[in-house]
Amino acid sequence: MSYRFLSSSSVIITECSALFKLRIPPNSNQIPNFFLFTRVWCCSKSNKKLEMEDNDLSKFTVINDPQSLHHKISAISIAGPSKLQVIADFDATLTRYWINGHRGQSSHGLLKQGNTEYDAKRQALFEYYHPLEFSPTIPLEEKTKLMEEWWGKTHGLLIEGGLTYDAIKNSVANSNIAFRDGVVELFEFLEERDVPVLIFSAGLADIIEEVLRQKVHRSFKNIKIVSNQMVFDDSGRLVSFKGKLIHSLNKNEHALDMAAPLHDQVGGIDGPAEDNASVKQRTNVLLLGDHVGDLGMSDGLNYENRISVGFLNDNIEKNLESYRNAFDIVYMNDTPMWGVVKLAAQLCSMQV
């Protein structure tokens, strides 16, 4: 990577026809270590594609304000791991957006009830409500009611259609879903340091657990899932949902009372879990999401410092400006999780 210094307060990455200026400390020797292992890319407006050094399409990064990010890293590092928590979206954040050239499935989208009639009914609901979810013209209050309506109807169809836990297992086994490279290493690193990970999802907690079980083959004592929880009868048939409904517009720390620790193969909690009240005392946050709206996952938490990481997986040219203004760090093109692993290592170290 080559840099050309234009002044004492800006640096530009060369070999791009449209350049993003990145603010850094006046003395180049003060560039934090974080940026020594992070590649920073910019996009070319004269071309439909992103211009990347060495044609490396696997990972590239945009940091809008390196100096602000450095200050946050320093503050969180000084406070130590005992004050840190990680909040992560699941679909297309922890999981890959593309798998072998095909769009990866979501935790909700992979579910097959074993009843084609009810699968078709749920798909029809998706085709009706999904455009409304992202409509820029529908007021938030009205959109929230629509999302409650959509999720409520979908949950009703799952119960009415006789969903079983065996169907969930089979759906996951036959799904096109996979974690980003580095996710397991991130979980292991955080578990070793007793840093809680809250996975927020508007999907189904039982499916997320099963994906972890089948794809990772273990559970983590520091992970909790904040999502819709199913209740099954003794025969393994879905009979109801537990607690409040969590949809795409209310998945935040106000819903923390819905958090559930991962369970082992026989249904018991795998190791001690940190209680929700103590999680709220951890006022430094590393937030991971793939939509600007995911920044709301930390709503309800009185945090002191928050580093937000956005995964911009598609429509990069259209969305890059809004993402780089919203997130501290943006990873593009369905990049692996290694940059976050390295960031987590810095946040848990006294050396910045």
76: exposed, middle or buried (Cβ count in 10 Å: 0-12, 13-18, 19+): buried
Between CA 42 and CA 33, with CA 23 as vertex, the angle to 5 degrees is: 90
Q: How many residues does the chain have?
A: 352
CA–CA dist 30, 23 (Å, integer): 12
Amino acid at 46: S
Q: Is 91 labeled as catalytic in the residue annotation?
A: yes
Unique residue bearing structure tokens 């439909």: 48
Residue 272 phi, psi dihedral angles, 5° rounding: -70, 145
290 is written with which tokens? 């793939």
H/E stretch holding 88 reads strand 84-89
Identify the active-site residue in 54, 56, 65, 91. 91
Grouping H, G, I as helix, E, B as strand and the rest as coil, residue 232 is: strand
According to DSSP, the β-strands at 60-63 and 197-204 are unpaired
Please list the alpha-helical segments (H only) found in the chain.
66-79, 116-133, 140-160, 165-173, 183-192, 205-215, 276-280, 316-326, 338-347
β partners of residue 85: 285
Identify the active-site residue in 54, 56, 65, 89. 89
Q: Is 89 labeled as catalytic in the residue annotation?
A: yes
Instruction: Provide the annotated active-site residues.
Output: 89, 91
